[in-house]
A and B are shown apart, each in its own frame.
Chain A
Amino acid sequence: MGIIAKVKKNLPSWAKKIFKKKKARIGIYGPPNAGKTTLANRIIRDWSGDAMGPISEMPHETRRARKKEGVVINANGATITLDIVDTPGLATKIDFHDFMAYGLEEEEAKRRAKEATEGVIEAIKWLDDLDGILLIMDAAEDPFTQVNVTVIGNMEARELPLLIVANKIDLPEASPARIKSAFPQHTVIPMSALEGYNIDKLYESIANHFG
């Protein structure tokens, strides 16, 4: 890390505002099947007409980080240019039997599990090269997972901006309030990446947080 970067990293928040930039590299993080690629696809489609990658019901569909550069977002009078990194789902365990439950043959399931472990490592390595992250949680699931706690802890330790996306609010059992109560120190945006509910609110928050 260069001297300027070190000085900037250690500055208090009021001083950081002076250095506010209009370009940021943000990572999309979260556990498998939280909707990371669905959200990445929506953001990129909305602002550049492209797509990030395929989505699937099967966990660990994204096993390599994908990057889209120069996505310009205009929201609430602010403009920000983002390099968006869609990362593989983070997990502390990967069992090939779980993939066999989705109909994969044993060999294919083992190969996928191996790739998934490599994907988790890649996602963790990316934490060192980001300006901020969008942490996607499935609002229908318990938010108190170790993956969420570890990602939030790492962002807090690095003093980097973090936005929590309470995804899948289109599901009847979704409870964004549970996520807000679990992590009250962070901004939580309830939305549905699939249906696009509340996406404008997310763009406003992205411009405010990462700009």
Chain B
Amino acid sequence: MSKKKTKKKRTKKSTNQKGIKIDLVSGDRFSTMASMEKIRFILDMVRNGSIVILERGLTPEEEAKLIEMTMTEITPDDFSGIEIESYPCKQRTTFLGKLLGKTTIETRLTVVGAADQLKTLKRDHDFISALVSVRS
């Protein structure tokens, strides 16, 4: 009987633990989604308190769309926007691409979180340092 009680107490303690949920999304998972699906997915996760890490990020157009959608969702005392950090895109042009005027944009790792949870400390071409805090 006493053993059972101890087990119950431990379970209760673990659910009360405060923490931060981090969702790591593979490039393959995102490649099957339409742009608006990706944006909705990110905003829903972030608004639920998750920090979202995208293996292959978003295209520049999708980033602009994400900022646009974020603006429509900002409400006083509830949601003040997002913090987003990504390595700058890489441009690749093949010989044939040069002739045709086609450049491939290679998107890179991106981190997104609510503005009151994620704060960029330092970043450059290949390094991102951020502070993640628990929501008050």
Contacts and interface: CB of A to CB of B under 8 A. Distances in A.
A2 B72 CA distance: 30
Given A92-B115, A156-B89, A120 B84 contact: no
Given A10-B100, A120-B68, A94 B60 contact: no
A146 B84 contact: yes
A93 B61 contact: no
A87 interface: no
Given A93-B82, A95-B115, A121 B76 contact: no
B128 to A, nearest CB: 9
Interface stretch (A69-77, A147-155, A196-204): A147-155
Majority-rule SS of B interface residues: mixed
A117 B101 contact: no
Interface residues of A, number: 32
Contacts of A153: 59-60, 63, 88-89, 105
Contact of A10 (B64, B67, B72, B102): B102
Contacts of B88: 149, 152-153
A127 interface: yes
B50 interface: no
Interface in B95-129: 98-103, 105, 115, 123-125
Nearest to B74: A117
B110 to A, nearest CB: 9
Contact of A95 (B60, B68, B81, B123): B81
A55 to B, nearest CB: 23
Given A124-B67, A153-B105, A154-B61, A93 B91 contact: no
Interface in A78-127: 90-96, 110, 113, 117-118, 120-121, 124-125, 127
B101 A150 contact: no
A12 B61 CA distance: 21
A130 B50 CA distance: 36
B68 A12 contact: no
Contacts of A93: 70, 74, 80-83, 115
Contact of A117 (B72, B100, B103): B72
Contacts of B72: 117, 121
A183 to B, nearest CB: 8
Contacts of B102: 10
B67 A113 contact: no
Closest 4 CB pairs of A and B: A93-B81, A153-B60, A93-B115, A12-B101
24 contacts: A12-B98, A12-B101, A13-B101, A15-B101, A91-B81, A92-B115, A93-B74, A93-B115, A94-B71, A94-B81, A113-B74, A117-B72, A121-B68, A124-B64, A124-B68, A125-B68, A144-B124, A146-B63, A146-B84, A150-B60, A150-B67, A157-B89, A157-B105, A182-B124
Interface of B: 59-61, 63-65, 67-68, 70-72, 74, 76, 80-86, 88-89, 91, 98-103, 105, 115, 123-125
Given A90-B67, A94-B71, A118-B71, 17 more contacts: A12-B100, A13-B101, A92-B115, A95-B81, A95-B115, A124-B64, A125-B68, A146-B63, A146-B83, A146-B85, A150-B60, A150-B64, A153-B88, A156-B60, A156-B89, A156-B91, A156-B105
